[in-house]
Amino acid sequence: MIINETTKSKIIDNCSATDVARAETLADIHLSTYGRGEYIFSSPGRVELVGNHTDHNRGKVMASAINLDIMAIVGRCDGYIRINSEGYPPFEVNLEDLSKVDSEEGTSIAVVKGVAHYFATHGKRIGGFCATMNSNVPKGAGVSSSAAFEVLVGEILSYLYNDDSIPYEFLAQAAHYAEVEYFGKPCGLLDQFAIAAGGVTYMDFENPAEPIVERLTPQFEGVSMVLIATGGDHSDLTEHYASIRAEMEAVAGELGEDCLRRVPIAKFEESIPLLKQKLGGRPIMRALHFFEENKRVDMARQSVVDNRDDLFYYTLTQSGMSSYQLLQNCYVPGDVDQFIPLALTISARCRGVRGYRVHGGGFAGTILTFCEDKYVEEYVKYMSTLFPSVSVLKFRKAGAICLGEL
Domain boundaries, the chain: 5-217+397-405, 223-393
Partners of 358 in beta bridges: 367
Write out residues in the chain with pLDDT < 70, as ranges: 140-141, 233-235
Coil vs helix vs strand at 63? strand
- The yes-or-no answer to whether 5-217+397-405 and 223-393 have a common fold is no
Least Cα distance to 227 among 167, 341, 141 occurs for: 141
Distance CA 51, CA 46 (A): 14
Which stretches of 306-372 are DSSP H helices?
309-322, 339-349
Question: What average pLDDT is seen over the chain?
Answer: 94
pLDDT digits (tens, 9 = 90+) for 292-342: 999 999 999 999 999 999 999 999 999 999 999 999 999 998 899 999 999
Share of the chain above pLDDT 70, in %: 99
Coil vs helix vs strand at 157? helix
Share of the chain above pLDDT 90, in %: 86
- Which amino acid makes up residue 119? F
The predicted pLDDT at position 140 comes to 63
CB contact at 8 A, 391 and 195: no
CB contact at 8 A, 25 and 136: no
CB contact at 8 A, 42 and 198: no
CB contact at 8 A, 185 and 205: no
CATH class of 5-217+397-405: alpha beta
Least Cα distance to 369 among 349, 396, 385 occurs for: 349
The domain 223-393 is placed in CATH, from the list 3.30.70.890, 3.90.1170.30, 3.40.50.300, 3.40.50.920, at 3.30.70.890
CB contact at 8 A, 369 and 348: no
pTM given for the model: 0.90
CB contact at 8 A, 196 and 186: no
b/e 321-342 (16+ beta carbons within 10 angstroms → b): ebbbebbbbbbbeeeeeebbbb
**76 Cβ partners below 8 Å, 6+ apart?**
38, 127, 128, 129, 130, 160
- Maximum CA extent, the chain: 70
The predicted pLDDT at position 11 comes to 94
The predicted pLDDT at position 235 comes to 64
The predicted pLDDT at position 52 comes to 94
The predicted pLDDT at position 209 comes to 83
